[in-house]
Amino acid sequence: MSLILEIHDLWKAYDEVQALRGLNLEVKRGEIFGLIGPNGAGKTTSLKIIVGLLSMDKGTIKVDGRDIKEEPYEYKRFIGYVPESVALPEYLTLKEFLIYSGKIREIPNDQIKERIDYFLKAFELEDKRNSLILSLSRGMKQKAAMAAALLHDPILLILDEPLVGIDPVGQHRIKEIFSERVKEGKTIFISTHMLDTAERMCDRVAVIHRGRRIASGDLSSLRRISEEGGNATLEEVFLKLTEEKIEEDKG
């Protein structure tokens, strides 16, 4: 499988705080890739740099082979993004928001209409079509943002804590949509704290700690790296890896 996302030696600092210290990642086409790590590990920072909301201090990021520094606009046409705290234009109705999202992505009008109908149904938001975003619950806003991110059929969907605030039925539906997309050869890149979700959803994960990748691979290879037993859960593997790293750092 070819690579859809390549991150090489990524560095980022906020004043005195070094958020990323030479992060390296490779995400393959057609997989669900999870980025996991403790609070402050640099997950959200990495995602924000990939989608162009933050600048990087040093490093290279390629999306579908395009260097994002060289082509700061073009690559965004192929990605969809949903942040952790979804803030949407509250004065628009849900339908208007999706029209807006489609228009700025320059999707033809007939396709916008068709896809809005499809995603409103898929995310069970049909009855909220003409409601103001302001009146939607947090979970509904999350689903609306996801619908907007999928509207242009991106080859890489980047999601920060995608299932937080969404009810179990909604979570199930989202997982189904993710699976359908992966079958079509699209890639999902998620950052999450929910290790059980990552374990069940992701084909591969990368564990990052203090801005560095400390391990990556599928669950079985992570078990090998962490020297946990064959039945170890991702949580156990994660705890082992991060504790080792903390001990190392202390040393």
Partner 1 sequence: MADAMSRLLNVYLVKVKIVLGAFKASKINLLLILVYLFGVVFGCFGLGMAVTEAIRRGMDLSVYVDEFSALISLGLAVAILASFRGFIVFDYEESLFFTSTITPWIFLAASILSDLTIFSIFFGPFFVLLGMISVSLSLSPMIVLLLFIVAVLLVLFILFLKKALSLLISVYADSIIRYILMVITVLLLLPAIRLLYPFPIRYGGLPYPSTFIAEALLHLLCGKQPPSISLLGFFSYFISSFILLVFCSRRDIFRYAKAIPFFSPFDASIKAQTIKMGQNIRLFSKIGLRFTLALKSESLFRFLIKKELIRMIRDGSLFAVLIFYIVVLIVSVATKSAGDSFPAWLFILAIYSLTVPAMLVTNWRVGELNSLWIPLTSGMNLKIFFSSLLYAFVLVSIPIPVGIIIILSFVAHPNPLLPLVLVVSASMIGASIHLFVMIRFLEKKRKATPGFMISWMSILLSSVFLSPAYVYVALSFIFGFTPPIDLASGAGLIIYSYFIFRFFLKKLEQKALHIEI
Nearer to partner 1, 143 or 240 (CB): 143
Surface-to-core class of residue 42, CB atoms within 10 Å of its CB (0-12 exposed, 13-18 middle, 19+ buried): buried
Cα–Cα distance list, 237 to 9, 122, 221, 224 (Å): 25, 35, 10, 9
CA 143, 148, 150 angle in degrees (round to 5)?
Answer: 95
Q: Judging by DSSP bridges, how do beta strands 204-209 and 32-36 pair with one another?
A: parallel
CB 115 within 8 A of CB 158: no
Q: Does 215 bind partner 1 (CB under 8 A)?
A: no
Q: In this chain, which of 58, 67, 109, 248 binds partner 1, going by CB under 8 A? A: 109
Residue 3-32 contact track with partner 1, rule CB under 8 A, x = bound? ------------x-----------------
Least distance to partner 1, CB of residue 106, Å: 7
Count of residues near partner 1 by CB under 8 A: 36
Distance CA 223, CA 210 (A): 21
Q: Does 185 bind partner 1 (CB under 8 A)?
A: no
Nearer to partner 1, 88 or 125 (CB): 88
Binding interface with partner 1 (CB under 8 A): 15, 51-55, 72-77, 79, 81, 83, 87-93, 96, 99-101, 103-106, 109, 112-113, 132, 134, 148
